[in-house]
Structure 1
Amino acid sequence: MRFIHACPVALLLIDHPARATEPPQTADLLLEAPYRRAYVVMQRFPDWVSRGQATSTPVTQVATGGHAYLLGHLCKPHDCGDNQLDIVFAADGHAAWGLLHVRPDAQHPFLQSWLGNPDEEIQTLLLRNYATHNPP
């Protein structure tokens, strides 16, 4: 009978050290050095994007789904082939969405990143704009 009562306590003691060695939660790493710094760096846009120092085209006015937009294309000065940004602004300026295209050189495919959480309709505009500025 005593053995039965001792088993749950023994199991708790055995289980406790295993909990201490569990890996941290990913979200917790975002708050701890050096992971916090690496996370912040990962979120940074290239300088030519964040500073708006880019070669660009005139915007095009487009309408889709009953809404008016301004559609534009930017690229990194002296490196347009490998660093581009397609951008859509709501005509009244209340929102913007983008598609960033970056690659190390022409032998590699673009790494593409959606910016501003565009819906499917805006994604289509951005992809179409990219194709217009990058014919096959």
Structure 2
Amino acid sequence: MQAAARLALVLAVGGTLHASPTQAQGTMPARPHLYELISREPYRSTWNRLIAPVLKNDRWLKGARGVWVPLQPVALNGVRVNIYVLCKPTGCVYGKISAIFAADGHRAYGAFRNATGTQILGSPPLAEHKALLAALH
């Protein structure tokens, strides 16, 4: 299946924040890699805003250039959500980000870990905050 069609299918089935619980039932199709998701608007602009506070020292985040870590969708408040995890190409220990996008692509939340500690990005609600931190470990 082509990447664009796969992305449309993932979003239609409810693999992101604001899908309805009825959409979230059933088998989840393969989801796009983070770099595929942010290759188009509005996800690209949202990603760039999300990583802006940490981009100066961690340029590998630009364009999501890293090693993708596959995770199963998680249930947050009864909705299945995709958490995207990306590692720095030279190692996950001190370079890892987890991110969740809203269904419309206009909002995202993240947790970023580097040698100086962990930073929460985008002011996520409590359930998303916990899921993002759990994805880093």
Question: TM-score, length-normalised on structure 1?
Answer: 0.53
CA–CA distance in structure 1, aligned partners of residues 129 and 75 of structure 2:
14
Structure 1 pair 44–82 and aligned structure 2 pair: CA distance change class (3 A): closer
| Runs of 4+ residues deviating >2 angstroms | 89-95
- Structure 1's 43 and 98: CA in aligned 2 closer, same or farther, altered over 3 A? closer
Following the alignment from structure 1 to structure 2, what is the Cα–Cα distance between the partners of residues 61 and 98? 15
- Hey, what's the Cα distance between the residues in 1 that align with 2:133 and 2:54? 23
What one-letter code is carried by the residue in structure 1 that aligns with 2:98? D
State whether structure 2 residue 119 is matched by structure 1 residue 113. yes
CA deviation profile, 1:74-121 (whole Å, cap 9, x unmatched):
111012221111112234534321100010xxxxxx511111111111
Gap change, CA 1:93 and 1:59, over 3 Å in 2: farther
Answer yes or no: is 1:85 the counterpart of 2:65: no
Distance 1:44 1:63 in 2: 28
Partner residue in 2 for 1:67: 79
Given candidates 57, 61, 64, the residue that maps to 1:52 is 64
Q: Tell me which residue corresponds to 2:132.
A: 126
User: What's the C-alpha RMSD, in Å, of the aligned pairs?
Assistant: 2.1
Name which one, 1 or 2, has greater alpha-carbon Rg.
1
Q: Which amino acid aligns with 2:119?
A: S
Which secondary structure state, in structure 1, belongs to the residue aligned with residue 89 of structure 2? coil
Structure 1 residue runs without a partner (length 5+): 1-41, 104-109, 132-136
- Quote how far apart the aligned CAs of 1:66 are: 3.0
Q: How many residues align?
A: 84
Question: 2:69–2:87: 8 Å Cα contact kept in structure 1?
Answer: no
Aligned to 2:24: none
Letter in 2 for 1:70: N
Q: Which has the higher contact order (CA 8 A, sep 6+)?
A: 2
Q: Percent identity among equivalent residues? A: 27
